[in-house]
Chains A and B, each alone.
Chain A
Amino acid sequence: MALPAVAVEQLVDWEVPEKQIGLWADAWQRFRRNRLAVLGAALVLFLVLIALLAPLLAQFGIIANPLKQNVSNIEAGPGQAGFLLGSDQLGRDTLSRLMFGSRISLSVGILVQAIILPIGLAIGLAAGYAGGRIDNLLMRFTDIWYAFPDLLFVLVVVSVFGPSLLTIFGAIALVSWVGLARLVRGQVLSIKEKEFIEAARSSGSSPFKLILKHLLPNSLGPIIVTVTFGIPNAIFLEAVLSFLGVGIQPPTATWGQMVFDGYENVYSNPSSVVFPAIAIGFTLLSFTFIGDGLRDALDPRMRR
């Protein structure tokens, strides 16, 4: 009958990871074989390369100076007046600004997620695993965090600590971690009661190992999706900060600000909005591929 078969299979399933030492090595192999994942990784590397090389390219005149204004050629379309991708509201070269903008925007997108991930994981895991009072207190804490006005919080944080890059990253991270924590908690709750966890616990495995080896790989999918979607979200939050007047100062180019500034020109020069959005989309897509590949690679059940 179905039940005992399931139980037996799950016992077997549970045993295998214990014996395997090279979980990560195995995952890496499988990742490498996933073509889309590799493509995603290559694209990210390409973007990082552009970010690193942009100043050099500008210095040698391969791309235009992103700060050079040309007010007689404001809002040029792609290909007009010598601008490959057009120009912005002050006549600055869009292509160049996109390349320089990648420096801030990639940093914001990726670093913010890097900050959020451990916080969200820690709180979500603690709440879900511990349950009871701790869960309640932590979740009421997230209710409070959801409810108070982010805009005001960010305004205050940046005015108190000054608009440095670190404060901005920190402020964005602080208003974005809650969703991930609640998601992780939900995942933990649903998996915690599964039989193989009980079996593992009754056999004396330490909770910490349990969490790492079983809970996490089994709940990765939604976590990865949340983190990848968080990247454009962080990029736009940086632009919102700037819109509020507490973000990265002009004339430094960032993709988010280019989209916001370009929005005004949606009738006269839609490319000023479309190109930075494509850059952001490109980034999101790359991380989506990587994310999918990562999840497939780490899924213990795929190893059959």
Chain B
Amino acid sequence: MAVIAGRPKRGALLPSRLASLTDSRAGSLAIFIVRRILWMVPVVFFVILITFVLMHLAPGSPWDKNGGRQLSQTVVNNLNARYGLNKPVTEQFWLYLVNVLHFDFGLSYQYEGKTVASLIMTSWPYTVAIGVISFLLIIPVGVGLGVLAALRQNSRVDYITMGFATFAASFPNFVVGALMVVAFSVLMYKATGGNFFLPAAGFGPDDHLVLPVITLSLLPIAFTARLTRASTLDTIRQDFIRTAWAKGLSERLVVVRHILKNSLIPVVTTLGPTFAFLVTGSVIVETLFSIPGIGRSFVVAIESRDYPMILGTTVLFSVIIALANLAVDVAYVFIDPRVRLTE
């Protein structure tokens, strides 16, 4: 029983050696974050290594054209010489690493004369804008629907949420997006004589955002809602909740104080990578709505074997996913129900 009355055990969430280093919660958290950021270096290294190997294993060269006149062998040789592709692969790898340490991500093969860094930096803001707005929509709607469905299990709300979730998961988002464009762009244009309709493509800080954000958010909202519902159901049945009911606490208090915080662990776990994916771009939404972001340019880079673009975008993504997962782990510390139980 000493376990209950004693200090909360932190060893599970932090590297065990740290627990003894300091009593201060903020202090150990800071050290934790710093260590994790240091761990990003080997992670990014291995990501670069694996991507490098994959790129050079993939059949097809950057200079093969998809139709019509191919480049002559001399031109191909010259291009390979220009970009150092005629060097042994290991040498190319080390050269790339050295350049990355100087924040030089090389020149794009496809867009002659442009640096990978400048290409990414001009495209990324669009992707981030749409991604962040979608994320800010997903959290309240997804979690909210999920909690509601759980509290009112087997009611109409629950079934409607389940139906919506099924729909969102069975129709890939480009289909939903295309159907929405047909409905809210073209048909609305025809119905209102061109006076009121949503734009079918393009990016802008106005109603151009509506359809892309909805298309991007549908599946994550559905998944988050179902996940929250499942996790909330698990939590509701736990006894400390029963105790709270028994004590006669108002539903809202119980929900917010106890249920939500306890059921959020799995939700937060998936929201981290979801954020990372949203912010590094959905190729489908960007292609469908013709948004000049990096999601689409990444897939184009893979299709055209633009190695530096592939590597540069992958490095960016690996940093973001590592940071997102770090944020998730930090969030665990704040959500950890153990803290609540002993207070």
- Whether chain A touches chain B in the assembled complex (some CB pair under 8 Å): yes
A-B contact count (CB 8 A): 199
> In the complex where A136-B15, A148-B47, A189-B265 touch, is A156 in contact with B54 (Cβ < 8 A)?
yes
* Interface residues on chain A, size class: 35 or more
Q: Is the CB of B321 within 8 A of A143?
A: yes
Q: Is the CB of B54 within 8 A of A179?
A: no
Q: Which of B51, B231, B270 is in CB contact (< 8 Å) with A179?
A: B270
Partner-binding segment picked from B81-89, B135-143, B238-246 = B238-246
Task: For B10, give the chain A residue with the smallest CB separation.
Answer: A193
Q: Is the CB of A299 within 8 A of B230?
A: no
Interchain CA distance A148-B172 in the complex, whole Å: 23
B318 contact set on A, CB distance < 8 A:
143-144, 146-148
Interchain CA distance A281-B162 in the complex, whole Å: 11
Interchain CA distance A139-B226 in the complex, whole Å: 25
Q: Is the CB of A222 within 8 A of B51?
A: no
Partner-binding segment picked from A15-23, A68-76, A110-118, A224-232 = A224-232
Interface string of B75-95 (1 = CB under 8 A from A): 000000000000000000000
> In the complex where A159-B59, A267-B182 touch, is A146 in contact with B174 (Cβ < 8 A)?
no
Asked if A33 is an interface residue, CB under 8 A from chain B, the answer is no
Name the distance in Å between A30's Cβ and chain B's nearest Cβ: 14
Chief secondary structure at chain A's binding surface = helix
Interchain CA distance A160-B53 in the complex, whole Å: 13
Q: Is the CB of B16 within 8 A of A225?
A: no
B237 contact set on A, CB distance < 8 A:
299, 301-302
Give the number of chain B interface residues (Cβ < 8 Å): 75
Q: Is the CB of B178 within 8 A of A266?
A: yes
B58 contact set on A, CB distance < 8 A:
152, 155-156, 159
Tell me the chain B residues, 1-33 only, with Cβ under 8 Å from chain A: 1, 3-4, 8-9, 11-13, 15-16
Q: Is the CB of B227 within 8 A of A225?
A: yes
Task: For B46, give the chain A residue with the smallest CB separation.
Answer: A144
Asked if A251 is an interface residue, CB under 8 A from chain B, the answer is no
Task: For B159, give the chain A residue with the smallest CB separation.
Answer: A36
A131 contact set on B, CB distance < 8 A:
11-13, 16
Q: Is the CB of A151 within 8 A of B223?
A: no
Q: Is the CB of A149 within 8 A of B302?
A: yes
B299 contact set on A, CB distance < 8 A:
151
Q: Is the CB of A259 within 8 A of B172?
A: yes
Interchain CA distance A2-B16 in the complex, whole Å: 31
Task: For A190, give the chain B residue with the smallest CB separation.
Answer: B265
A136 contact set on B, CB distance < 8 A:
15, 39
Q: Is the CB of A190 within 8 A of B337?
A: yes
B338 contact set on A, CB distance < 8 A:
193-194
Interface string of B202-226 (1 = CB under 8 A from A): 0000000000000000000001001
Task: For B50, give the chain A residue with the smallest CB separation.
Answer: A148
Task: For A193, give the chain B residue with the smallest CB separation.
Answer: B338
Tell me the chain B residues, 133-173 only, with Cβ under 8 Å from chain A: 162, 165-167, 169-172
Asked if B252 is an interface residue, CB under 8 A from chain A, the answer is no
List 20 extra interface pairs beyond A133-B15, A193-B8, CB under 8 A.
Answer: A7-B4, A132-B15, A136-B15, A142-B325, A146-B273, A149-B314, A151-B299, A152-B58, A160-B57, A183-B269, A190-B336, A218-B234, A219-B266, A232-B169, A259-B172, A263-B174, A266-B182, A281-B170, A295-B233, A299-B237
7 closest residue pairs by CB, A with B: A221-B230, A281-B170, A147-B318, A222-B266, A186-B269, A280-B170, A132-B16
Residue ranges of A at the interface with B (Cβ–Cβ < 8 Å): 2-3, 5-7, 9-10, 13, 131-133, 136, 139-140, 142-144, 146-149, 151-153, 155-156, 159-160, 178-179, 182-183, 185-187, 189-190, 192-195, 198-199, 202, 218-222, 224-226, 229, 232-233, 236, 259-260, 263, 266-267, 270, 273, 277-278, 280-281, 284-285, 288, 295, 299, 301-302
